[in-house]
Amino acid sequence: MDFPHGIGNVWYGWFWLVHYTGAVTADKLVTEGSLLLDGSTGEHLTDAVSFVREIQRIQKQTWADEMSFHAIHAFIWHYVARTIPDLDKYPTQLATEFCGEYVVDDFRSKPARKSIGSECYHGFGHAVFYSLALRQLGVQSHEIDVRTQLRPGGGFQLSDEIFCEAYKLCAGAPNATITTLPRKRCIGGVRHSTKLFAILEEDEDPTEYVAKLEERCDVAEQILKGLEW
């Protein structure tokens, strides 16, 4: 089954399964405290930063495709939800640990047509959306596990108030003159999540759908000001 990806592309449904692998990996790391990296040597990873670095190493390879970027998005959003369940500000320290190496030198994976830094920070936008979505749904911190995922095209939408709160959280992302990447990609992740999970009317433009939500958020215009897309 096909469904709109929200950015002018149509993806086969299996692409979402790749996201689930990222969420499963994050859940396993948080729950068990380690991940088996190499079955032949028994090498384990015991922290999230090391796992992200391993994925980024793969993303630099000439054969890397888009799948690792989908997986890292879900790893980030689920890891944030599991480790910062009461998210009330942009997780700057964690984002810097995960993505900071690429904040200026945003290495572009040519086979995948993706930039490592941009996609990493984009994952934190998804994380802001996901964390607030769970809060809106009344999911308690002890109830969050890999099964608490949203379904693309399933019709979920943040309330106007919480959508606006998501933008306020993104406004806390670094936005220095040297780069607007963290804040811009956080907003982009919230927008993308909004498009992915909504049920749009026939021929309704996803970007216009988000723009209407932004019009109902009194701080959106100011937050978006100065961000180049």
pLDDT along the chain (229 residues), means of 10: 40 73 96 94 96 94 88 97 96 95 73 85 98 96 91 91 98 78 94 93 92 96 82
User: Measured in whole angstroms, how far is the alpha carbon of residue 14 from the centre of its chain?
Assistant: 18
pLDDT of 2 reads 41
Alpha carbon distance 62, 59 (integer Å): 8
Contact in structure between 82 and 26 (CB atoms under 8 Å) = yes
pLDDT of 228 reads 65
